Amino acid sequence: MELTVTFGFEIISLLIALFFYIQKRNKILKYFIPFLFLTVIVEFTGWWWTVHNGPWKFAMYNIFTPVEFLFYAFLFYIHLNKPIFKKIILFFSPVFILCTVLNMLWIQGINNTFNNYIFLLGSFCVVVFCCLYFYESVLPDKIDLQLSLQPFFWICSGLLINYLGSVIINALFEYLTSNDLQSEGRRIYITINNSLNVILYSSFCIAFYLCPNHKKISSSQL
Amino acid sequence: MPKPQEDILISIVVASIFFILIGSFLLLVVFIFLRRQRKNKEEKEEMKNRFEQTLLKTQLEIQEQAFAYISQEIHDNIGQILSLVRLNLNTFGAVVSDEKMEQTDELLGKAIKDLRDLSHNLQNNRIYDIGIVESIRQLLLSLKKTGKYTTSFQASDHFHLLDPNTDIILYRMIQEIVNNIIKHASATNIEIEIKSEAEVTTIRISDNGIGFDTALLQRARAGIGLQNIINRAKTIEAGVDVKSEQGKGTTITLYIKPKLTSL
C-alpha cells in the first residue's frame, strides 16, 4: 500500500512552514511547525500500522483528532477579536474534551473504530468558528484590510472547505467502510478525503507564504 | 454492486461536493461584500475630499476678494489721504522746526510706501500681470531692502507654464511661509529656489533661523499660518515637506504637478 497524497502535502507544508519560519520568525508558523510535525508522524504511523496490521491505529487517530481540533480552536482564539467569540471558544474546549472522553469510554470506544461522532462535532465547531471569523472580517473596522493578503484568511478558507466537504463522508464512515461497500466505499472515502486535504494543506502553504516578517520589526524606526 | 447502493454512493459524492460548493460560495459572498464595502468607503472619502476642496477653494476666493477690496481701499483712500497730509505738512512752514518737519515727512513717506507695497502684495491682478516669478522676486527684494535679511532667488525657465490660478495660491503660500520666517525664525538669510521638471515642480524655501522640532507639527495642532499653507496645498493638490533642525534653519518644499495652460 502506497503512502497517500495527503501525506505528501503534509510534508510539503511542514517544510514550507520551516523554511518561512527561519526567514520570518512568525508566531503562526511557530505554532504550526509542531502541529504539522505531529500530523506527519501520525499519518506515517497510521500508514505503517495499516500495512503491518498495527494494533493501535484507531486509538492513535482517535487521540489525534481532538488534539487537532483543540489546536484549531486555539488558533481561532488568537485571531478572533470579539470577547464573546473568545468566550465561545473557551467554552467549546472543555466541552469538546468531555465529549471525547465520554465517547471513548461509553459510546464508540478508544480502539474499536474511528470516532466519527467526535470528528463531526469538531467539524461543526470549526465551521462555526470560520463563520465567526468571516463575520469579524466584514465588520466596518476591518474593511481596509485586504482579506486575501491575511494568512489566517487562507487557513480559515482551507478549514471551512475541508470540514464542510468531509461532513458527509465522516458521518457515513461506518457505512462506507462496511463489508458490502468495501472497495467502492473506501475508494470514495479516500478520494474525497485526499482532495479535501490537498485543498487544506495548499491553503496552509499560502498562509505561510503570506505571514508577515517579524524579524524586521525589532530593528525598524531607529 | 447493487443499484440502490450505487445510488447512495453517488448521493454521498454529490452531497459532499454540494457542501464544498456551499463553503466556496460563502467565501465568495464575503469577498464580494468586502469589495463592495471598500468601494463604497472609497467613494464616500472621494466625495468628502471633493467637498472639502470646494469649500477651501470658496474660502480662498472670498479671502482673495477681501484682499482685493483692502488693497483698493489702501491705494485709493488711505494712500490718498496720507499723500494729502504730506502736502499739507509742507505748508506748515515756520510753525514747526525744519528738523521735525523732515522727520515727519520721512515717516509719512515710509508709511505711504509701505502701504503701497502692502496694497500691491494683496492685489491678485498684479500677480497675474507680472507673473509669480517676478512677484516672488519683488517680495524678496522688499525684504532685502529692510536691511535685516539677505536673500537669494533661483527659478527655472519653464516655471511660467503653471496654471495662473495655481500661481496665485502658490504665491500666497510662499507669502505665508516668508511671514512665518519673519515672525518666528530669527533668520538672516532667506532662499527660494524653483525647479520645474516634466513630472513635478519643486519650490524650496529655506532660512538659516533657529529651526524647530518638526515632530511638534504632528503632535500638536499646526498654527494658523501653517494650517493655511496646508489648506492651500490641498486645493492645488500640492505636497508640503517640512525639514528643520534646531539651530540650523528650516526648509519647506512644495511639490506641485504642473498643469499646462492652453497658450
DSSP string for B21-76: HHHHHHHHHHHHHHHHHHHHHHHHHHHHHHHHHHHHHHHHHHHHHHHHHHHHHIII
Residue of A nearest to B27 (CA): A157
DSSP string for B135-166: HHHHHHHHHHHTTS-EEEEEE-GGGGGS-HHH
Class of domain B143-263: alpha beta
Cell of A97: 474534551
Q: Give the mean pLDDT of B231-239.
A: 83
Domain chopping of chain A, boundaries = 57-214
User: Which of A134, A137, A192 is opposite residue B16, by nearest beta carbon?
Assistant: A192
Kindly state the DSSP code that residue B236 receives in the 8-state scheme. Answer: T
Q: Please state, for a pLDDT cut of 90, what percent of chain A lies above it.
A: 41
Do the bridges between strand B189-196 and strand B150-155 make them parallel or antiparallel, or are there none, so unpaired? Answer: parallel
Domain chopping of chain B, boundaries = 65-122, 143-263
- Listed by number, the residues of chain B in 10-29 with a beta carbon closer than 8 Å to a beta carbon of chain A are 12-13, 15-17, 19-20, 22-24, 26-27
When pLDDT is cut at 50, 70 and 90, the band that residue A179 belongs to is low
pLDDT at A52: 82
When pLDDT is cut at 50, 70 and 90, the band that residue B219 belongs to is low
Q: Tell me how crowded residue B36 is: count the other CB atoms within 10 A of its CB.
A: 10
Contact across the interface for B41 and A143, Cβ inside 8 Å: yes
User: Which of B9, B16, B34 is opposite residue A147, by nearest beta carbon?
Assistant: B34
Question: The whole model's pTM is what?
Answer: 0.62
User: Which of A137, A140, A184 is opposite residue B9, by nearest beta carbon?
Assistant: A184
User: Which of B5, B19, B37 is opposite residue A181, by nearest beta carbon?
Assistant: B5
User: Which of A134, A161, A188 is opposite residue B12, by nearest beta carbon?
Assistant: A188
Amino acid at B199: E
| Closest to B124 in 3D by CA, of B57, B59, B193, B69 | B69
- Listed by number, the residues of chain A in 180-219 with a beta carbon closer than 8 Å to a beta carbon of chain B are 180-181, 184-185, 188, 192, 196
Contact across the interface for B1 and A176, Cβ inside 8 Å: no
CA atoms within 13 A on the CB side of B233: 20
ipTM for the whole complex: 0.70
Q: Give the mean pLDDT of B27-44.
A: 86
Q: Tell me how crowded residue A179 is: count the other CB atoms within 10 A of its CB.
A: 6
Chain B interface, best mutation among A168, A170, A189, A221, by max B CB count within 10 A: A168
Nearest-5° Cα angle at A27, A139 to A100: 80
Q: B244 phi and psi, to 5 degrees? A: -150, 145
Q: Is A164 exposed, middle or buried (0-12, 13-18, 19+ CB in 10 A)?
A: buried
Is the CB of residue B69 less than 8 Å away from at least one CB of chain A?
Answer: no
Residue of B nearest to A153 (CA): B27
Ramachandran sector of residue B260 (left: φ over 0; alpha: ψ -120 to 50; beta: rest): beta
**Per-residue pLDDT reduced to its tens digit, A6-36:** 888 999 999 999 998 888 888 888 899 999 9
Q: Give the mean pLDDT of B74-80.
A: 78
Q: Which residue has the higher pLDDT, A169 or A17?
A: A17
When pLDDT is cut at 50, 70 and 90, the band that residue B158 belongs to is low
pLDDT at A222: 25
Chain B interface, best mutation among A139, A145, A152, A160, by max B CB count within 10 A: A160
When pLDDT is cut at 50, 70 and 90, the band that residue A125 belongs to is very high
Give the sheet arrangement for strand B201-207, strand by strand: B150-155, B189-196, B201-207, B249-256, B239-245
pLDDT at A217: 37
Q: Give the mean pLDDT of B239-254.
A: 88
**Per-residue pLDDT reduced to its tens digit, A58-101:** 889 899 999 999 999 999 999 998 999 999 999 989 999 999 99
